[in-house]
Amino acid sequence: MAIYLNDVSRTFGEYLLIPGLTTRLCVPSNVSLRTPLVKYKTGEMPALRLNIPFVSAIMQSVSGPELAIELARNGGISFIFGSQPVASQAEMVRKVKKFKSGFVVSDSNLTPEHRLVDVLDLIHKTGHSTIGITDDGTPNGRLLGLVTSRDFRIEKDDHSMKVKYFMTPFEKLHVGKAGITLTEANQIIWEHKLNTLPVIDCDGRLLYFVFRKDYDNHRENPYELSGDDKTLLTGAGINTRDYKERVPALIEAGADVLCIDSSDGYSEWQREALLWIREQYGESIRVGAGNVVDREGFEYLVNAGADFVKVGIGGGSICITREQKGIGRGQATALIDVAQARDEYLGKTGVYVPICSDGGLVHDYHMALALAMGANFLMMGRYFARFDESPTKKLRIGSNYVKEYWGEGSNRAQNWQRYDMGGIESLKFEEGVDSYVPYAGKMKDNLSITLGKIKATMCSCGAISLDELQRLAKITLVSSTSIVEGGAHDVTLKEQT
């Protein structure tokens, strides 16, 4: 006979936080959102920590290198999607790792033999108006000159004119040499009133650009997540099919943490992948696993060597696993169960294993609830897919701007490895949809609002750290009528102009 669980499968929308004592210390400026990313022993520090409890989902429509760079600059981490060839995923990781605070690897390059029309096409494609002119047109070719918007006039200049006739040649450029510090580079920029400083090696090859605007950006990103070498931290997704090829390539590319991407992580395939990684690399490689929805799944993956465990099946906005397979659990109930198992595991072993809540976050206040219920950090797809930095197209539908957003289980993604149950190497049926999300602009602007809400909620609970929030939070179930009561009601809302 089947095993029946008596608890009801609940979502975040069925709970509210009850205010605690707000002391004089409980102001947003005092709140720390630092959180462990990987497991650690009691009395020790985790090898990797996040400055904000956000990671981006392992999805084609979310976690490309541009979003990974911007999220790391704001204190979180991305997991570059794995549903692509090994070489292209590794190259995306390299692009993030090559980005140093203030030192930008050029993605806009041409040769002197290209023409103005090529310059205009490249600006349209990348959105960047500074173009490095190198001998071979690559980001690390020998620097011969620079083209910016000040070097040509679109209306008057012949679009067939070669770049060599209007570029600023190398001999007229101020350049920095390899090994220059960001402070030294910014000093040259200010002394010579430059907008851009190319940095070259001893052979004259282009390494980086340092931009005047990045000086201010660097000061505006105090939570930037970087390693001892000042490179940004980034993660990468792997699967249980080609991990023996993919893992070494991602490690060589510089990935700081890996995560097995699967709709159902409670499987022998994940255990085999984790054991292989431990046999090959010991504890030097950090790897998370999942997804699970109960204590048995959590314990299984932790005993196999997972550094963190992802919780959630079927709760994502584009996920239809529950509808298709009848598999899953309400995200709040799953998180509460796994958090209890995590705490019991800590009591028995002295090892703290972070858990990641993945899916089910409809409103910003759900994030605070998930953190209060025991999540150390949150993995989100829809939230990040809305921003300029996500890799999808911005479209106009009617009077609204949207961005494309599709699930890894959709026919568009064809990520059959994520849903692999053995057998034929193909997607058997869809477990995700292809959709749009409202365009929301730049990540940084939206993040500051969301994080401000979380900090305000924590202050109302009397907590100024995530540890305190989880210890002090009082959580109550709410009825359907009280949910209605919580919104605007019994009034006529004014139309927004």
Residues carrying an active site annotation: 319, 418
Query: Contact at 8 Å (CB) between 119 and 126?
Result: no
Structure tokens at 266: 């409670």
Dihedral sign of CA atoms 296, 301, 303, 304 in order:
positive
**C-alpha distances in angstroms, 78 versus 26, 102, 345, 480, 491?**
30, 19, 27, 36, 42
- Asked if 166 and 122 count as a contact pair (C-beta separation under 8 A), the reply is no
Q: Which two three-digit tokens encode residue 409?
A: 């289980």
**Secondary structure (3-state) at 405:** strand
Is 33 within 8 Å of 459 (Cβ atoms)? no
Separation CA 145–CA 138 (nearest Å): 13
Are 356 and 378 in contact by the 8 Å Cβ rule? The answer is yes
Q: Which residue has the tokens 């209890």?
A: 340
Query: Token pair 């990671």 is at which residue?
Result: 55
d(CA 223, CA 195): 25
* Adjacency order of strands within the sheet including 143-147: 109-110, 131-134, 143-147, 168-169
Q: Which among 236, 235, 295 is positioned nearest to 266, based on CA atoms?
A: 295
For residues 267 and 422, the answer to whether their CB atoms sit within 8 Å is no
Question: Chain-centre distance of CA 385, in angstroms?
Answer: 10
Per-residue DSSP letters for 12-46?
A: GGGEEEEP----TT-SGGG----EESS-EETTS--
Dist. CA 127–CA 107, nearest whole Å? 10
Is 131 within 8 Å of 119 (Cβ atoms)? yes
Kindly state the tokens that stand for 145: 């000159």
Cβ pair 148, 130 in contact under 8 A: yes
